């Protein structure tokens, strides 16, 4: 190169003329997605998505509840299709089931207490009374069973025989005077009626033909004047031949010690004193439920709260000092079917 030679310039190829519009640009929508215009020189206007406003949505638990209801409806429809069980299913899943105790048909015991001594005692005790019979020879105490709301009471004949006045105390402590309606010494049964009584709770009479040996029973009465005493046991035998004194008058009443119970005969033996010459025999229910002097005329009750017998005789051996030593599990009751067969006659004055 000579000193007059100019340095060679780098080669720049000719540039195309500038287009009359800007080149097409991609439209950006959201991360990870690119959309190119399909044609035209003016790119479309893109409006960015508007973020959702804070929703006034129901709280999460409520949305869950809605989903639960939807599921319930779906299952209910399926249940209806296979067996008509929709109503039962909805009730089980949505209703608050509150159990209620209802009475057992024909009895005094609630369903929730059926078969318990406590349930029987609570239901039947208001129908059992204490009877105080006064005569010239003294005063004796027995029990009775209310059979009508206006105050008809069944008891043993020997409890009220020869009495000049009769006083009856209810389980709530209220006291009435009573009159004898009718007696049947041959069956040792009597019917008395309270004066001026109404709205009393009558006992439910059962069927003694249904009683079986081994059945549980409850006895309620007033032994030794202890009103409303409850004992329990089983039926230990049926159709026992029990012989008792008829007690036709005052002199007969003087032959026994009230502390030892009414005299009776069983199996050829005498218990609780001499039965005398005037006596009667009946078929009895035997029980080991504790019976003591004063239980006479009270109730023997099955576990449904039905009266199956009227307690009438019990063996109470004497202690060393001559007083009663208490029950030894040998008691007898007149079957309630015997009573029911005799009621009309007792209401007409009895067989005496």
Helix (H) or strand (E) holding 53: none
Computed over its alpha carbons, how large is the radius of gyration of the chain? 47
CA distance 107 to 129: 19
**What DSSP string runs through 64-75?**
HHHHHHHHHHHH
Question: Active-site residue numbers?
Answer: 158, 188, 296
Measured CA to CA in angstroms, residue 255 lies from 215, 248, 250, 251 at distances of 35, 12, 9, 7
CA distance 15 to 42: 24
Own/partner pairs, 235-238, CB within 8 angstroms, 24+ separation: 235/211, 235/285, 235/286, 235/287, 236/286, 236/287, 236/288, 236/329, 237/213, 237/285, 237/286, 238/211, 238/212, 238/213, 238/285, 238/286
CA distance 167 to 177: 5
CA distance 74 to 67: 11
Looking from the CA of 235 toward its CB, the CA atoms found within 13 Å total 25
Residues in the chain: 352
């Amino acid at each position: 190169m000579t000193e007059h030679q100019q340095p060679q310039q780098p080669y720049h190829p000719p540039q195309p003329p500038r287009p009359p519009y800007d080149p097409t640009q991609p439209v950006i929508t959201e991360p990870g997605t690119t959309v190119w215009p399909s044609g035209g020189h003016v790119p479309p206007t893109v409006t960015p998505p508007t973020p959702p406003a804070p929703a006034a949505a129901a709280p999460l638990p409520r949305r869950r509840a809605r989903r639960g209801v939807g599921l319930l409806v779906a299952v209910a429809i399926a249940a209806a299709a296979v067996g008509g069980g929709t109503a039962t299913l909805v009730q089980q899943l949505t209703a608050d089931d509150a159990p209620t105790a209802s009475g057992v048909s024909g009895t005094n015991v609630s369903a929730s207490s059926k078969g318990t001594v406590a349930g029987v005692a609570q239901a039947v005790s208001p129908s059992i009374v204490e009877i105080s019979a006064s005569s010239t020879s003294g005063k004796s105490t027995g029990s009775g069973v209310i059979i009508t709301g206006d105050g008809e009471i069944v008891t043993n004949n020997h409890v009220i025989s020869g009495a000049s006045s009769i006083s009856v105390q209810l389980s709530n402590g209220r006291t009435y005077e009573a009159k004898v309606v009718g007696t049947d010494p041959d069956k040792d049964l009597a019917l008395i009626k309270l004066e001026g009584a109404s709205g009393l709770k009558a006992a439910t009479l059962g069927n003694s033909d249904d009683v079986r040996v081994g059945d549980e029973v409850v006895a309620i009465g007033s032994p030794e004047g202890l009103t409303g005493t409850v004992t329990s046991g089983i039926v230990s035998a049926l159709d026992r031949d029990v012989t008792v004194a008829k007690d036709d008058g005052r002199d007969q009443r003087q032959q026994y010690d009230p502390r030892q119970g009414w005299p009776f005969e069983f199996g050829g033996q005498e218990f609780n004193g001499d039965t005398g010459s005037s006596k009667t025999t009946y078929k009895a229910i035997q029980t080991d439920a504790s019976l003591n002097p004063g239980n006479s005329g009270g109730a023997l009750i099955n576990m449904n709260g039905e009266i199956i017998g009227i307690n009438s005789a019990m063996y109470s051996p004497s202690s060393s000092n001559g007083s009663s030593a208490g029950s030894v599990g040998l008691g007898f009751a007149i079957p309630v079917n015997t009573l029911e067969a005799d009621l009309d006659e007792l209401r007409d004055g009895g067989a005496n």
